[in-house]
Structure 1
Amino acid sequence: MQSAAQLIAVVRDDRSSLAEAYPWMLALSPADREACAQDLVNAARMSTDQPHPAMAELISWKETATAVAAGLGTIDPAWLGEDAPVERP
């Protein structure tokens, strides 16, 4: 509920940004911050009776920012190989 309240407060106030309400957004690139903000606002507007879509969007972006801050966005997946066989469990 606190996250929802922060989102509503920021959307209603032209002087503040979502990055001020959610400091974890600073781990995202400027383009991703803009996409995150728009996605959060869209999800909040869409969920009239249920907070689930907005909270799912918020958690998804927060986890993305956490991964980026941990350096996980810079790993080259080439080590996986293109045709690596995988045994069935």
Structure 2
Amino acid sequence: MTIAAELPGATRRSSDLSKHSAEVFAEAEDPPVTVTRRDGEALVLMSQREAEGRARLLNFAEQLITVTLDDNGTLAERMSRAFPWMLALSLTDRESCAQDLVDAARASLSTDQPHLAIAELTSWKETAAAVAAGLGSADLERLDDDAAQTAERP
């Protein structure tokens, strides 16, 4: 099975690209469009966002494979070496982060949805940056429901 056959989305003839280019381009903005040709191999037309998402997922998968090949330490320790920003997280959060990232990568790769892993990676990385900036250490003052006050509109 070819990669083009595995991609979701429409299949269009190359003549459609010249006759109805705006329509074909609009179709390719979300799922990729496979463009078949009589004189050559089929091509895939996709948005730059889609291509960059796939490239980021492959890069992330490469890092995870490298982590799994290392046998020194726990998953969280190995992941912290590959992703040093994880060191800003607590030990418990590092363990949760490591498992969440592996799970998200597996889901992304098995469903061909790069955004799942990239969103999880971004979320954890931003959380680590917030913790490193001291945003997670402030004591919060909770208001009782009875004491809650409504602010007036300006």
Give TM class, smaller chain: 0.7 to 0.9
Is residue 22 of structure 1 aligned with residue 79 of structure 2? Answer: no
Cα deviation code 1:16-64 (max 9, x no counterpart): 6110110000000111000000000001111121211111000000011
- Unaligned 5+ residue runs, structure 1? none
Larger RCO (CA within 8 A; separation ≥ 6): 1
From the superposition, tell whether residues 7 and 84 of structure 1 become closer, same or farther in structure 2 (CA, over 3 Å): farther
TM-score by length of structure 2 reads: 0.50
Aligned length, in residue pairs: 87
Structure 2 counterpart of 1:87: 152
Normalised to the residue count of structure 1, the TM-score between the two structures is: 0.82
Which protein is bigger by CA-based radius of gyration? 2
Which one has a larger percent strand, Structure 1 or Structure 2? 2
Q: CA RMSD in A?
A: 2.0
**Uncovered stretches (5+) of structure 2, i.e. residues with no partner:** 1-55, 73-77
Task: Could you list the structure 1 runs, at least 4 aligned residues long, displaced by more than 4 angstroms after superposition.
Answer: none
Deviation at 1:81, TM superposition (A): 4.5
